[in-house]
Amino acid sequence: MKHVIFTGAAVALVTPFNEDGSVNYDEFGRLIDFQIENGTDALVIAGTTGESSTLSEAEHVEVIRYAVDRAAHRVPVIAGTGSNDTATAVMLSQEAEKIGADALLLVTPYYNKTTQNGLYVHYRKIAESVKLPIILYNVPSRTGMTIEVETAARLAELDNIVAMKDAVGNITYTANLINRCGDSLTVYSGNDDQIVPMMSLGAKGVISVLSNVMPRETHDLCAAALAGDFRTAAEMQLRYLNLIHALFIETNPIPAKEAVNRMGFRAGECRLPLYHMAEKNAAVLEAEMKKFGLEGIAAR
């Protein structure tokens, strides 16, 4: 079996901003410590939930650097370094390696949609430029691109492409992927509402938005599934399902940031064009958070 970066629940962490839009590093440190102290299994920095698409290249590198230093090897730090420009993805990946990140998360190129052969060459170029283990990020709802199963199998032949974050949302795709790739590619759920179904097929955990507000519970859900206790895991999946839906009632990470702010952290607003939640949707999120006593817990 190839190197396994983590098992369990990795948080796709929000990036907190000050009122002037700059990164709030003091609060970023608090969020990192909160996650690690509450059982998160890995940190994903500057991913979709971390608003990577609105970070400048300098901010992108500095956010990863800060997370690596703050985590101090307590859990793996996975740096989101994907881009729709291969050269930029190579540069960010090399910088993350120099900084000391433990692994990379590479989203498929977006907007300038390529072919499956183009995808393969894109990822191969990045993989050849670094030694870090790589997680492919397959999220067609965001990018308009899907890594087909045969392309994933081809990529898995490269030594440092070791995993996929599968956010396709199609359990048949997941089954075919795991059946085709076996131990050559660790699969993580990219959707919080599908953790248990995907783990029942052999996925090793989740890269989670839910973990921003419930790191311990998301870890425990995955731990139950990894132990083969799918009855307990399924009960937990269903218990948190309405909260998961509320966290995606608007475009991620808008509700996630609202939730983290309601917990008592100073996550600030999303950067435009993402905008704060509509009142009716915020009320739904508030009601679901209150069911689990999440409001204000960071200030207690």
Q: Please, what's the b/e burial string for 11-46 (b: 16 or more CB within 10 A of its CB; e: otherwise)?
A: bbbbbbbeeeeebbbebbbbbbebbbeebbbbbbbb
The single residue of 120, 137, 173, 188 carrying the catalytic annotation is: 137
**How far is the C-alpha of 207 from the C-alpha of 57, rounded, in Å?**
23
Record the tokens describing residue 296, joined without a space. Answer: 């204000």
Is 188 annotated as catalytic? no
Query: What are the DSSP calls for the chain, one per residue?
Result: -PPP---EEEEE----B-TTSSB-HHHHHHHHHHHHHTT-SEEEESSTTTTGGGS-HHHHHHHHHHHHHHHTTSS-EEEE---SSHHHHHHHHHHHHHHT-SEEEEEPP-SS---HHHHHHHHHHHHHH--S-EEEEE-HHHHS----HHHHHHHTTSTTEEEEEE-S--HHHHHHHHHHHGGGSEEEES-GGGHHHHHHTT--EEEESGGGT-HHHHHHHHHHHHTT-HHHHHHHHHHTHHHHHHHTSSSTTHHHHHHHHHHT----PPPTTS-PPPHHHHHHHHHHHHHTT-TTGGG-
Is 137 annotated as catalytic? yes
**How far is the C-alpha of 12 from the C-alpha of 246, rounded, in Å?**
17
The single residue of 165, 204, 240, 257 carrying the catalytic annotation is: 165
Active site residues: 137, 165
